Amino acid sequence: MSALTTINPVEPFLRADRMPHIWCPGCGIGTTVNCFARALVESKLPIEKVAVVSGIGCTGRVAGYLHLDSFHTTHGRAIPFATGLKLANPDLNVVVYSGDGDLIAIGGNHFIHAARRNVDITVICVNNFTYGMTGGQVAPTTPVGATASTSPYGCFERPFNLPFLAESSGAVYVARWTTYHVRHVAHAMVEAFQKKGFSFIEILSPCPTLYQRRNKMGDGLDTMRYYKQHSVIRNGAHTREVDINLQGDIIVGKFVDIERPTLHETMEQQLREKLQDRYAGGGGA
């Protein structure tokens, strides 16, 4: 055996004393964590400056498993916590890592405002179309007709189209992939880390225990095969057109990649302009 590393590339980023994690067999969250680890290495970010902020839920547990400055906050509020964190220390590379229910339902208001402000954070949204941790309730991403524990006769609400929501709110980087597209996910994360402004990556992931099972979609592997078969890569697609239906095609790709001054930049610029040499800066920590 050569002198090459013989540890799993994800291992330096894990809190090994907390393994094994709680995610189910066939759940895709762990797969996204592999992509995250690869992206951290490839982007060469100084690891001491990376902070992960999660909300509550299965994906919300990611922060706790990562050996980084990690913050497991309250349900729906990872984004405003991250906003405060980033404003207090703009040198940090702040990543919000949470699930669809947490970020878009209870966290929806914070999501759209942070995108509007163009807070310089990366938001990784693992979308499994349900609230997994609490037992598989209907979520604002659950497709019409899908069964969930709180919509036992099928979801009757139109779901959000997350890339559309992100773009309309002002996100400067918007991408959607699935846990099948591991290399694309890792690459999107690298781009998002390096992107100044509000970057949003939606990653579709199986929830075999709840969403998949209740909707007779097989297990995690079946879902991954489904992603492989039914994903259509359309980089640059109009986000308006990337709705997800229960059994249709999934449009994936990088949809938005634009430039816009960040919250910090616009704040500094405005204050400097108005106050001239009376402006004492953001204070810093």
Provide, rounded to whole angstroms, the least separation between the CB of residue 112 and other proteins.
8
Q: Is 209 in the site for other proteins (CB under 8 A)?
A: no
Closest CA to 78 of 106, 58, 50: 106
Q: Is 41 in the site for other proteins (CB under 8 A)?
A: no
Instruction: From 78-86, 128-136, 151-159, 243-251, give the range in contact with other proteins by CB under 8 A.
Output: 78-86
Q: What angle do CA 184, 64, 214 make, to 5 degrees?
A: 65
Closer to other proteins by CB, 116 or 214: give it: 116
Tell which one of 41, 43, 69, 194 touches other proteins (CB under 8 A). 69
State yes or no: cis peptide before 206, omega within 30 of 0.
Answer: no
Instruction: From 23-31, 168-176, 189-197, 235-243, give the range in contact with other proteins by CB under 8 A.
Output: 23-31
Tell which one of 144, 158, 221, 258 touches other proteins (CB under 8 A). 221
Angle between helices 108-117 and 162-169 in degrees, nearest 10: 40
249-278 residues near other proteins, rule: CB under 8 A:
267, 271, 275, 278
Give backbone dihedrals phi and psi of 261, rounded to 5 degrees, phi first: -60, 145
Give backbone dihedrals phi and psi of 268, rounded to 5 degrees, phi first: -60, -45
Instruction: From 67-75, 130-138, 191-199, 236-244, give the range in contact with other proteins by CB under 8 A.
Output: 67-75
Instruction: From 30-38, 138-146, 165-173, 189-197, give the range in contact with other proteins by CB under 8 A.
Output: 30-38
User: Looking at this protein, which amino acid is placed at residue 230?
Assistant: H
Provide, rounded to whole angstroms, the least separation between the CB of residue 145 and other proteins.
27
Provide, rounded to whole angstroms, the least separation between the CB of residue 81 and other proteins.
4
80-139 residues near other proteins, rule: CB under 8 A:
80-89, 91-92, 109-110, 113
Closer to other proteins by CB, 60 or 163: give it: 60
* Residue labelled with tokens 């997800």: 244
Provide, rounded to whole angstroms, the least separation between the CB of residue 203 and other proteins.
12
Instruction: From 45-53, 122-130, 138-146, 193-201, give the range in contact with other proteins by CB under 8 A.
Output: 45-53
224-243 residues near other proteins, rule: CB under 8 A:
224-225
Q: Is 183 in the site for other proteins (CB under 8 A)?
A: yes
Distance CA 53, CA 72 (A): 6
150-179 residues near other proteins, rule: CB under 8 A:
179
